[in-house]
Structure formats: C-alpha cells, structure tokens
Amino acid sequence: MILSIESSCDDSSLALTRIADCKLLFHTKLSQDSHHSHFGGVVPEIASRLHAENLPLLLSRLIDFLRTLSPNAPFAPLKAIAVTNRPGLSVTLSEGMCMANALALSLDLPLLCLNHLKGHIYSLFIDTPHAHIGEGLGVLLVSGGHTQILHMRDYEHITLVAQSLDDSFGESFDKVAKMLGLGYPGGPIVESYATGYSGALLPMPIPLLHDKRLAYSFSGLKNAVRLEIAKMQAHDNTHQEAQPTLREETKHRICASFQEAACTHILHKLRIYFQQHSVQFTHFGVVGGASANTLLRTRIESLCQEFGKTLMLAPLEFCSDNAAMIGRLACEAYMRKEFSPLNDTISPKSLPQDFENGL
C-alpha cells in the first residue's frame, strides 16, 4: 500500500491506498478553517505552523491503523510514500515534503512527488481500479486557487484547455465573503446566503461574455460586488453610522447575485468548450473544493444532458484537498515507477511537463 500526504494549502491529510485495486483503506484530515476565518483567507505562516503540528498527529492515527493490520511491524505493508509537491503554498508544501522525505529515508521506501491538480482529477476514481473515461474525459477543476478546463485522454495525456486569467472561482467566493464580513471559507457561506434569497437579483457583469477565448476571469466581477456593497451600504445606512453596515436581506441579495453571475460565467465558457470539442470526449468530470456548489453542479448536469455526456462527480468528502486523491494518483505513478529522489523540491505552480497545451 501507499502512504500519501497532502499539505498544499490549509488542509493536513494522510491516507493509505492499496495498490492492487486502488482501494482507500484509511483517510484522516484536519482542517484549519477556524484558524483562518478571522482573517478572511489563508495566512501562509499560520497554515505552515499548523501543518507542523497536525501532520504528526495524523501520522500517529495512521500508525494505529497500521498496527491493526500488522501489529509487530506496522510499516511492513508500505511500498511507497507519496506527497504533493506542487502546486500550492511553498511554506505548507515544505511541511509535507519534510515528512515524506523522513518516512521514505527511514523506511527505505521510494518517493512519489505528485501534482495536486492531477490528484483532484483522480478524486473521481477513488476506490476504482480503472479510470473509466470513455473515449475521453473533459474536466472542470474549480478550487480555491485554480479554475481550469482540462482534457484527459489517459494518465500520460492531460491537456490544459483553459484557465483563469486572475482570480479563481473559489477565491472569488472567499473574497466576496470577506467583503461582506461573513467569514472563511467563503464558498459554503456565500452559497448558504444565496440559497436563502428568492427576490430580484442585482445586475452583475458576466466576465468575458463577448470574448471568444476559452478563459476565465473573476477580478472584474469581484470589483463589481465591491462597488455594489458600497452602494448598498449607503442605501442601508440613512443615519450615517460611523461603521456602515448592511441589512441581512441585502447580504443575501448580493450573494445570490454574485453566485448567479459566477456560475453563468463558468457555464458560458463550458458551453463553448462543449461546442468546439464535444467529439473528443464522452465523459465530463467536475472536481475541486468549489465543485461542491449546488447551483454549479445543477447547471453542469443540464449541460451534460444537452450534449449527451456522462457526468462524473467526486464524493463531497473528497472535493476539497485530501490525501485520498493523492493516494489514488500515486497508484498510477507507482505502477509506472515514476519515483523521485529524496529532495525538498517544491513548486508553487505546476511544471511545464505536467500538462499538455492546446487540443
């Protein structure tokens, strides 16, 4: 089996995956949401310190599980150590790499350094020995740091079709939540506020609506929300309070209006991708933490039905960052003997060889 480690941002996670059938045997995770909520986003230095505290705790849990399998030699069943080393926050990736190197060296096991985004794709195949992608798999990856359309022919051939020019889909939810003082992470909070509103929506711009490029952009929409908040604050505070506030109904309205525009933007570009490349894929997957958004899932499901594509969704518990998806990806890398030397090489971005460019 493979021991996998994930620490690319603010989730500490370890997992054990059986190589023979890619079965997830053990998974444990500690979130840092409560520590970053006050700041409205992830503070890298705090995240790094918490990984240094949490990863050993999770390793202790994992060892307890291993002892149930092999009491006298708990590490004997392990065949490799897998770790996320890109992309992500450098200071948090370093924590996972430090543990991975220590385990690989002390146990004399091969090391697999893996791409976090490819891990998200393989979250679709947790507990599945074969990656069923039909004649091709289109993928929408929406997370806190990335918004991408990817096209997968097989493990070795994954093409980057489109990505955000600035903010990501998930990041824009976090920033809207921060502007409204709603806390972190912004995705589920903004969605909750949006779901509770059924009135008229505020006019919001749809980014790149008349731009034929396959690309995303959320900075303009984010700024439109900021301007709308300022306007509504002036409207809601007729007595000129020292600290302008918004009525709860106004917060619900802003969240609903923003979410509608953000999802419309995602679907507008996806429709172009479907129209241009529909013959090249039969399955379509949605992955990443922000893929848990119900409105987005519903809209994409309708799009897949319209074009006759099989929709694939990762289980909700494996949408956000986790070591289970890294373990599933690691099974593929292990079978191909894509081992890495012991090192501390990390990268905040994907490497040029990780993805192909252009279909």
Q: Is the pLDDT of residue 282 over 60?
A: yes
> Which residues lie below 8 Å from residue 282, measured CB to CB, with a gap of 6+?
133, 134, 135, 136, 309, 310
For residues 37-43, give the mean pLDDT.
89
Please give the pLDDT value at position 238. 59
Please give the pLDDT value at position 6. 98
For residues 169-198, give the mean pLDDT.
94
**Which amino acid is located at 172 in the chain?**
S
Q: Is the pLDDT of residue 358 over 90?
A: no
pLDDT bin (cut points 50, 70, 90) of residue 144 is confident
Q: Is the pLDDT of residue 217 over 90?
A: yes
For residues 131-148, give the mean pLDDT.
92
For residues 129-133, give the mean pLDDT.
88
Report the b/e string of 123-143 with b at 16+ CB within 10 A: bbbbeeeebebeebbbbbbbb
Q: Is the pLDDT of residue 236 over 90?
A: no
**265: nearest Cα among 309, 289, 291, 299:** 299
CB atoms within 10 A of CB 189: 19
At residue 5, φ and ψ (nearest 5 deg) are -130, 135
Q: What is the pLDDT of residues 90-103, one digit of tens each?
A: 999 999 999 999 99
Is 0.85 surpassed by the pTM of this model?
yes
> Which residues lie below 8 Å from residue 64, measured CB to CB, with a gap of 6+?
none
Distances in Å between the alpha carbon of 259 and those of 137, 206, 218, 255, 356? 26, 11, 11, 6, 31
For residues 317-345, give the mean pLDDT.
95
Q: Is the pLDDT of residue 27 over 80?
A: yes
Q: Is the pLDDT of residue 225 over 90?
A: yes
Q: Is the pLDDT of residue 112 over 80?
A: yes
At residue 130, φ and ψ (nearest 5 deg) are -125, 140
Beta bridge partners of 84: 114
pLDDT bin (cut points 50, 70, 90) of residue 239 is low
DSSP-assigned letters across all residues of 280-309: G-SEEEEESGGGG-HHHHHHHHHHHHHHT-
Instruction: List the end-to-end C-alpha distance of the chain, in Å, as a whole number.
Output: 35
**101: nearest Cα among 60, 67, 161, 55:** 55
Cα 221 from Cα 257, distance rounded (Å): 11
Cα 176 from Cα 179, distance rounded (Å): 5
Beta strands in the chain (DSSP E): 2-6, 11-18, 23-31, 80-86, 111-115, 137-142, 147-154, 157-163, 283-287, 310-313, 356-357
Please give the pLDDT value at position 357. 84
List the domain boundaries for the chain: 2-126+318-357, 137-313
* SS3 label, residue 196: coil
* SS3 label, residue 217: coil
The answer to whether domain 2-126+318-357 and domain 137-313 are alike in fold is yes
pLDDT bin (cut points 50, 70, 90) of residue 243 is low
CATH, range 2-126+318-357: 3.30.420.40
Quote the CATH superfamily of domain 137-313.
Answer: ATPase, nucleotide binding domain (3.30.420.40)
